[in-house]
Amino acid sequence: MKVGQAIVRLFVFIFIKFSYIYSMKKLSLFVVLFSLSFSAQVPTLTDEIAFQLSEKPVHCINQEYPNKTAHVINNEIDVKLTPKELHPSFYGCFDWHSSVHGHWMLVKLLKDKPFLKNKEEIIKILEGSFQAEKIKTEAEYFHKYQVAKGFERTYGWAWLLQLDAELASWENPQAKIWHQNLKPLTDEIVKLWKEYLPKQTYPNRTGVHPNTAFALSFAIDWARTVGEKDFENQLIEKAKYFYLKDEKTPAYLEPDGSDFFSPSLEIADLMTRILPQDEYVKWFNKFYEKRSIENISQIPVISDINDYQTVHLVGLSFTRSWCMKNIAQVLPKNHRYKKHFEETSAKFLENALPLVFKGNYGGDHWLASFAVYALSK
């Protein structure tokens, strides 16, 4: 009897052991296959993703509150001015610059994705914003109020030029009307920038809105799109003055707690626009040390996605992604960081894209634009 029980127990043990091994092999195979399939799926701007992202600015462009106007109050009358009274076109999406790049994003999607499910709704929104009288009021703002000449300098200015460039390069009858209507505001921004550029003695090497390298990049792109050669040359000259001699950038200290730019990557991205490849590679090799590359390749930790400042770090993944992708395209095939930047760019994009849909209005009012720009690179 005891021998029989022992044999039964042995068979049960063997059966369980083999079942466990078999199941673990299946599980391991599943994990491997899942990982491979996931890693192979670098996010792309499909029609469905474009629609989902477009819903963010669609819902906030005409949402006036909450609002951060950044308007300097000059008297009691100013206290009573609403965001919509100050900025009849770009009053929504929490702040002026987010409204501007929300409009850019919708123009970009209409241009690249003509069969969007919400196309007619988007056209109606843009038609409302690009009314000539409204844009005229937007342009007058910079001289109507004290201290307003520095309003949104240079982050909001850069996004306005990005919006203008998108319209200027779109062969569409409606877009041409919108572009013409936007012209007074574009002209005002360019005029202010030309006045400011000689006065800017030092660059802003921050990871938030005033970052100079980011703004110069967008401004150069705009100047090349519309053929503003003199302005382009001024921007290039200033960029070289600021950054050409940079070496051993301390990117191992990045990021700060509310960064949505990598100060070092924005500079490296900018310099791809103004240096020939051979000169760029020499500059790049002096600019980055290994420990800095390793540090800026790490996914940012988002401790609270609903915090209006901490959520900036989601945007950091998008900007790192588009900078690294652009830099990788310039680096030669045999460069030790070319493949690394390509792979890390995709990693940042994979990580950040799902987070666009997980937070509150602190991310909803702006992150989708960054996602579209990164996906469009």
The number of beta carbons lying within 10 Å of the beta carbon of residue 112 is: 14
Residues 339-355 have a mean pLDDT of: 98
| Residue 274 pLDDT grade (very low, low, confident, very high; cuts 50, 70, 90) | very high
Instruction: Render pLDDT for 65-99 as a digit per residue (tens, 0 to 9).
Output: 999 999 999 999 999 999 999 999 999 999 999 99
Poorest-pLDDT segment among 20-34, 88-102, 287-301: 20-34
Q: Decide if pLDDT at 255 tops 70.
A: yes
Q: What is the pLDDT of residue 41?
A: 72
Residues 296-311 have a mean pLDDT of: 98
| Residue 243 pLDDT grade (very low, low, confident, very high; cuts 50, 70, 90) | very high
Q: Decide if pLDDT at 15 tops 50.
A: no
Q: Decide if pLDDT at 187 tops 70.
A: yes
Instruction: Render pLDDT for 82-91 as a digit per residue (tens, 0 to 9).
Output: 999 999 999 9
Q: What is the pLDDT of residue 279?
A: 98
Q: What is the pLDDT of residue 42?
A: 85
Burial category of 140 from C-beta neighbours within 10 Å (exposed 0-12, middle 13-18, buried 19 and up): middle
Residues 220-233 have a mean pLDDT of: 98
Q: Decide if pLDDT at 268 tops 50.
A: yes
| Percentage of the chain modeled with pLDDT above 90 | 89
Instruction: Render pLDDT for 116-174 as a digit per residue (tens, 0 to 9).
Output: 999 999 999 999 999 999 999 999 999 999 999 999 999 999 999 999 999 999 999 99
| Percentage of the chain modeled with pLDDT above 70 | 89
Residues 247-262 have a mean pLDDT of: 98
